[in-house]
Amino acid sequence: MIWTTLILFHGVLVLFLILSNRSRSKKEPPLDKGIIPWLGHALDFGKDASKFLTRMKLKHGDIFTVRVAGHYVTVLLDPNSYDAVLQDSITLDFTRYAQVLMQRIFSLSLPNHNASTEKALMKRHFQGESLTCLNSVMQGNLQGLLQSETLQDRENWKQAGLFNFCYSLLFRAGYLTLFGAEQTNHNRDSSAVYKEFRKFDSLLTKMARNMLTPEEKRITGSVRQQLWSLLSMVLPGGKTEDTWLQNYLQHLRDEGVDEEMQRRAMLLQLWATQGNVGPAAFWLLGFLLTNPEAMNAVKKEFDSLSLQADLPFDKLQNTPVFDSVLNETLRLTAAPFITREVLRNKTLCMADGREYAIRRGDRMCLFPYISPQMDPEIHQEPEKFKYDRFLNSNGSERRVFYKGGKRLKYYTMPWGAGKNECVGRHFAISCIKQFLLTVLTRLDLELCDPHSAMPKVNASRYGFGVLQPEGDLEIRYKLRCTL
């Protein structure tokens, strides 16, 4: 009996070794499997992906393959070669990995989903005419929320953490703009959704990596339920307005998606539309509050737009200083992975002529945060916030940056690039600009301690869009008495 068990055990072990015994062929990128069987580098990757990938880059150069939880991921870190990945949407597939994450994070599967129809819908509603309309609704919601926040007490300073201040205001205003249902109580409703969403958001990276403890699994399940039911209250009934959400849900119904999955899809959309804007606004306002010179430059620019109380938003388009501040903020804090599933064996041609074989079934991953964004060869003193980094000396927008003597097409990539570049970026930029303008004109807002420094980033969130802080900046604010 014992012998049978032992032989069986060894059989399994040998089989395991054969299966995991992948070796590198000469034409492939350097392979680093890590010492732990199957898991490979998963733990380092999850703890601080930026630190881990920087270490791998020092060891192997700007292309290498690592094993992460059973998967082989080829990481490319040369921005001059990014187009080889971004332009190949035939061999390198965006949707499959997105669907894996959809299942893990949102318990959502949309098997017959037509992504290109969905994207066309987004383009129609988040650009051009419709965008102007969305912007003015957003503006109204931002001002309404600020007003009600400061209604009871106009005389005294209110104290708050800047992160929650920004995230909560932008999330609720954005939620009311895109998901707002006429009949419900706006304020109470949006605050409840925000509160649950923050719990969900804090577990999101662990969900994506399949690393929840049993206790966290239980919490995730109940938070998800809670959000689904809060969101189902805005599921529209009979009337069909021509809003993005109405059209999106109709599109799902046309594809035969049942009501349960429609509710789950709403949470996905809530995250996609609201998960990054608030944290980005936090970093932006934080950098301005801790860099008086930058704050003054932005205020001067906003003043020169001859601000009246209700400036139409299209007067706000030409703002090179603000644009540079936002670009610089996102250079430092937007850290998405750009991941693609390899559908067929492929030869990857790098900008300098090197060629590598990439295997079917692996994943390709770009991490623009390391390069171009934090690359000292491209941006001097990359860890420093310089508000005018993206300005020429004559005040116009700077677009010329070099690496290795070559002019770069991608010198910062917060929105991704190519076919899957963020569809919502114009809306996101407008939201942040409006938020800043509203805060600077309607509020007196200052740091509690004028000498406080920006908090560190939470290293566990590298790879998931805009970073979040570990710690916070304490501020106080009150409504301007002139208004």
Ligand X SMILES: *[C@@H]1O[C@H](CO)[C@@H](O)[C@H](O)[C@H]1NC(C)=O
Q: Which residues are annotated as a binding site for substrate?
A: 104, 110, 276, 363
- Distance (Å, rounded) from C-alpha 189 to C-alpha 199? 16
Stretch of residues binding ligand X (CB under 6 A), selected from 170-178, 304-312, 316-324, 441-449: 316-324
Among 147, 222, 240, 392, binds ligand X (CB under 6 A): 392
Q: Which two tokens stand for residue 338?
A: 């750009």
Q: Which is nearer to ligand HEM, 236 or 416 (CB)?
A: 416
Q: Which is nearer to ligand X, 273 or 468 (CB)?
A: 468
Stretch of residues binding ligand X (CB under 6 A), selected from 152-160, 235-243, 282-290, 387-395: 387-395
Nearest to 224 by CA among 103, 46, 401: 103
Is 424 a binding residue for ligand HEM by CB under 6 A? The answer is yes
Is 280 a binding residue for ligand HEM by CB under 6 A? The answer is yes
Contact 173, 194 (CB under 8 A): no
Nearest to 22 by CA among 366, 364, 365, 362: 362
Among 230, 338, 437, 443, binds ligand HEM (CB under 6 A): 338
Is 333 a binding residue for ligand X by CB under 6 A? The answer is no
> Which residue(s) pair with 32 in the sheet?
66
Contact 294, 288 (CB under 8 A): yes
Is 422 a binding residue for ligand HEM by CB under 6 A? The answer is yes
- Count of positions on this chain that bind ligand HEM (CB under 6 A): 22
Among 42, 266, 466, 473, binds ligand HEM (CB under 6 A): 466
Stretch of residues binding ligand X (CB under 6 A), selected from 152-160, 323-331, 378-386, 446-454: 323-331
DSSP 381-433: STTS--TTTTB-TTSSBP---EETTEE-S-S--TT--GGG--TTHHHHHHHHH
Nearest to 469 by CA among 224, 196, 281, 289: 281
Q: Which is nearer to ligand HEM, 22 or 426 (CB)?
A: 426
Contact set for ligand HEM, span 122-141 (CB under 6 A): 122, 126
Sign (positive/negative) of CA torsion 78, 84, 86, 92?
Answer: negative
The site partner of 122 among ligand X, ligand HEM, none (C-beta below 5 to 8 Å per kind) is ligand HEM
- Count of positions on this chain that bind ligand X (CB under 6 A): 25
The site partner of 48 among ligand X, ligand HEM, none (C-beta below 5 to 8 Å per kind) is none
**Residues tagged in the binding site annotation for heme:** 422
Give burial (CB, 10 Å; 0-12/13-18/19+) of 75.
buried
Q: Which is nearer to ligand HEM, 165 or 271 (CB)?
A: 271
Site string for ligand X, 101-120 (x = CB under 6 A): -------------x-xx---
Contact set for ligand X, span 410-449 (CB under 6 A): 412, 415
Give burial (CB, 10 Å; 0-12/13-18/19+) of 6.
exposed
Q: Provide the angle, in degrees to the nearest 10, between the axes of the packed helices 425-442 and 128-149.
A: 30
Is 382 a binding residue for ligand HEM by CB under 6 A? The answer is no
Q: Outline where 259-336 has alpha helix (H).
A: 259-274, 277-290, 292-304, 320-333
Stretch of residues binding ligand HEM (CB under 6 A), selected from 69-77, 220-228, 257-265, 268-276: 268-276
- Scored b (16 or more CB within 10 A) or e, 345-374 reads ebebebeeeeebebeeebbbbbbbbbbbbb
Contact 459, 50 (CB under 8 A): yes
Among 349, 470, 474, 483, binds ligand X (CB under 6 A): 470
Among 89, 164, 191, 460, binds ligand X (CB under 6 A): 460
Q: Outline where 30-161 has alpha helix (H).
A: 42-47, 49-60, 83-86, 95-106, 115-126, 128-149
Is 166 a binding residue for ligand HEM by CB under 6 A? The answer is no
- Distance (Å, rounded) from C-alpha 441 to C-alpha 457? 29
Q: Return the number of other C-beta atoms located less than 10 Å from residue 241's C-beta.
A: 9
Stretch of residues binding ligand X (CB under 6 A), selected from 173-181, 218-226, 354-362, 366-374: 354-362
Using the 8-state DSSP alphabet, how is residue 354 labeled?
A: -
Stretch of residues binding ligand X (CB under 6 A), selected from 7-15, 223-231, 295-303, 318-326: 318-326
The site partner of 473 among ligand HEM, ligand X, none (C-beta below 5 to 8 Å per kind) is none
Nearest to 476 by CA among 438, 441, 433, 443: 443
Shortest-Cβ-distance residue relative to ligand HEM: 424
- Distance (Å, rounded) from C-alpha 78 to C-alpha 71? 22
Is 360 a binding residue for ligand X by CB under 6 A? The answer is yes
Report the Cα–Cα distance between both ends of the chain, in Å, rounded. 86
**Residues tagged in the binding site annotation:** 104, 110, 276, 363, 422
- Distance (Å, rounded) from C-alpha 39 to C-alpha 87? 31
Site string for ligand HEM, 398-417 (x = CB under 6 A): ----------------xxx-
Site string for ligand X, 265-304 (x = CB under 6 A): ----------------------------------------
Residues in the site for ligand X, rule: CB under 6 A?
Answer: 25, 114, 116-117, 202, 205, 320, 323-324, 327, 345, 357, 359-360, 390, 392, 394, 396-397, 412, 415, 458, 460-461, 470
Residues in the site for ligand HEM, rule: CB under 6 A?
Answer: 119, 122, 126, 272-273, 276-277, 280, 334, 336, 338, 414-416, 420, 422-424, 427-428, 465-466
